Amino acid sequence: MQRLEWSVGVFILMGLACALVLAFASTNSRDRLGGEGYELTARFSNLGELKPRAPVKIAGVKVGEVTRVELDPRSFEAVVTMYLTPAAGELPADSSAGIFTSGLLGERYIGITPGGDPEPLRPGDEIVLTQSAVVLEQLIGKYMFGSGDGGARPASE
């Protein structure tokens, strides 16, 4: 009987240890993403539902993640800080960033399109060319209630 109790105790302790390892691994994004990378920022007028830990992709390949989302109290724009892994390489200074959705109602992510400038972005730089999220509700509203043309319809012949 005592051997069974010890076995159950060891099994429970191993489960708790595994849970702790998973908790630490999931919160330390830099280690999870592969070591020494760098951070960039970008400003958007509308994030949609972009949240911290959202992926950052180049050509559909995950090269980082969003680490922080803040509101600039002066311009009222969302300032997104993203961590890029060494796999992203040196991005040209005229690269652009946009907020996209995986599928119709999937998760939001930042897609970076590299530019052609020979000067690279440095750690801490800001991506100036940005495209905000397309909000599905706004598109539906424009379609249903007109697109600002005053509801004019073409005259029938």
Kindly report, residue by residue over 5-26, the tens digit of the pLDDT.
Answer: 888 888 898 988 888 787 766 5
Q: What is the Cα–Cα distance from 118 to 93, expressed in whole angstroms?
A: 8
- pTM score, two decimals? 0.68
For residue 151, tell me if it sits in a domain: no
Q: Is residue 71 part of a domain?
A: yes
79 and 11 in one domain?
Answer: no
26 and 41 assigned to the same domain: no
19-58 per-position pLDDT tens digit: 878 776 655 555 455 568 899 999 999 998 899 999 999 9
Q: Do 72 and 116 sit in the same domain of this protein?
A: yes
Q: What residue numbers bound the domain in which 102 lies?
A: 36-145
CA 31 centroid distance within chain = 17
**Mean per-residue pLDDT for 101-128?**
90
Same domain flag for 20 and 46: no
Report yes or no on 122 lying in a domain.
yes
Domain-embedded: residue 150: no
Shared domain for 4 and 76, answered yes or no, is no
Q: Are 64 and 88 a contacting pair, CB within 8 Å?
A: yes
Give yes or no: residues 41 and 18 share one domain.
Answer: no
- Whether residue 110 contacts residue 50, with contact meaning beta carbons closer than 8 Å, is answered with yes
Position 21 in a domain: yes
Pairing of strands 108-113, 126-127: unpaired
| Predicted confidence band of residue 106 (pLDDT cuts 50, 70, 90) | confident
- In a shared domain, residues 23 and 76: no
**What total of structural domains would you count in the chain?**
2
Same domain, 18 and 74: no
